[in-house]
Amino acid sequence: MPSLREAQHRHAQNYRDIYYEARELYLKGNEDVLRGLKIFEQEQLHLESAFKSLQLRSDYESSRLLISLVSVLNPTNEIRFPPHQRVRWLEAQHRAAQITGNRRAEGTALGNMGLAYADSGDSRKAIHYCEQHLLIARETGDQIGESNALGNLGIAYKNLGDARKAIEFHERALAIDRAIGNRRGEGADLGNLGLAYAALGDIQKAIEFHEKRLAIAQELGDRRREGSALGNLGIAYGKLGNMHKAIELYRQQLATVSEIGDRLGECNAFGNLGGAYRETGDRHKAIEFYDLQLTSARKIGNQRAEGNALFGSALVLYQLNMQAQATDRAEAALQIMEAIEDPYAAVIRNSLSQWRGQSS
């Protein structure tokens, strides 16, 4: 009769293999994305049970198995798991990598932790973990890991308001991904460059990068990245004043990410639509979408999106002469944005100052 440890290992190996199949389907793209995600949903409780049993052990074989179990979840875990849960799993994977002496796995876990913190809005923690990932990736000759670390560092610096530094990181990542033929990574780099150039105010250049990213996502059948590219194109067209085009793109974004259950993508799409309807003067529709974004952001633990939803709705409430409610929401937004060092905090602070001056 097998021991408890042997039974737990067999259970974990079985669901690791099932999730490997789910990941391979997801990466094929198009209609296979949904097939892969369906397997993930059907077997999620078994997966979590296998993870918990391995997490409690510190022997070499259990640690090796835990590394492989967490690894096969990428990239589906970004869709189905909120950032705080991803961090918990990745911390366990990092410990397991140290036990087994697997430096490449250690670096990958650190990098994915950085990405999870970036998704939650904590850019400083993201930088801390991604810098460690970059060092290990270079030490182990992991070029994909190096490009991922560079790209994630670029995202974090852009979110802190340093778009020029972000561009440097994204260009270095793009050079690596093109050299090794990593089309998925190349698409991500192009989209990130689009976001950085948009932050600098170069909207036409941003559109060029986002269109290239969209083309690669569609080529690969990557529905999640397709949704992201559609949303970013919408933001760019909105900045050019073409709100009709922007809303059309945001609607496409929402339909795409909702189809695959991408909660972060939905949260972003809700916020994009809230902002677009605010610009067109449809205030009640704007409030509706900002409230959807706020609920979604709190559910997945995304502080930046929560702050954006609070302040976006505050602007609409102020336009509706609901000053007290507007001020309350703006103050809550400012508290969040200051905590995560988001440069948008200055805009919120300025608006609050003006509102208080007008009411005094």
Please tell me the predicted confidence (pLDDT) of residue 316: 97
Neighbours of 151 (CB within 10 A): 27
Any residues with CB less than 8 A from the CB of 38 and at least 6 apart, and which? none
N-term to C-term CA, the chain = 79
Please tell me the predicted confidence (pLDDT) of residue 77: 73
Please tell me the predicted confidence (pLDDT) of residue 36: 85
Q: Which tokens is 307 given?
A: 């702050």
- Residue 360 binned pLDDT confidence (cut-offs 50, 70, 90): low
pLDDT single digits (tens) 116-138 = 998 888 999 999 999 999 999 99
Residue reference for tokens 């200051």: 338
Torsion of CA 220, 262, 331, 346, to 10 degrees: -10
| pTM for the whole structure | 0.86
Any residues with CB less than 8 A from the CB of 20 and at least 6 apart, and which? 72
More confident residue, 27 or 334: 334
Residue reference for tokens 């400083």: 124
pLDDT single digits (tens) 72-125 = 888 777 777 888 889 999 999 999 999 999 999 999 999 999 999 988 889 999
Please tell me the predicted confidence (pLDDT) of residue 3: 83
- Residue 1 binned pLDDT confidence (cut-offs 50, 70, 90): low
- Residue 278 binned pLDDT confidence (cut-offs 50, 70, 90): very high
Closest alpha carbon to 310 in 292, 332, 288: 332
pLDDT single digits (tens) 138-169 = 999 999 999 999 999 999 999 999 999 999 99
Please tell me the predicted confidence (pLDDT) of residue 56: 87
- Residue 27 binned pLDDT confidence (cut-offs 50, 70, 90): confident
User: What value does the mean pLDDT of the chain take?
Assistant: 93
Q: Which tokens is 223 given?
A: 């529905």
Amino acid at site 211: E
Contact between 97 and 278 (Cβ < 8 Å):
no
Mean pLDDT of 39-43: 83
Please tell me the predicted confidence (pLDDT) of residue 85: 87
Please tell me the predicted confidence (pLDDT) of residue 359: 64
DSSP 236-251: HHHHTT-HHHHHHHHH
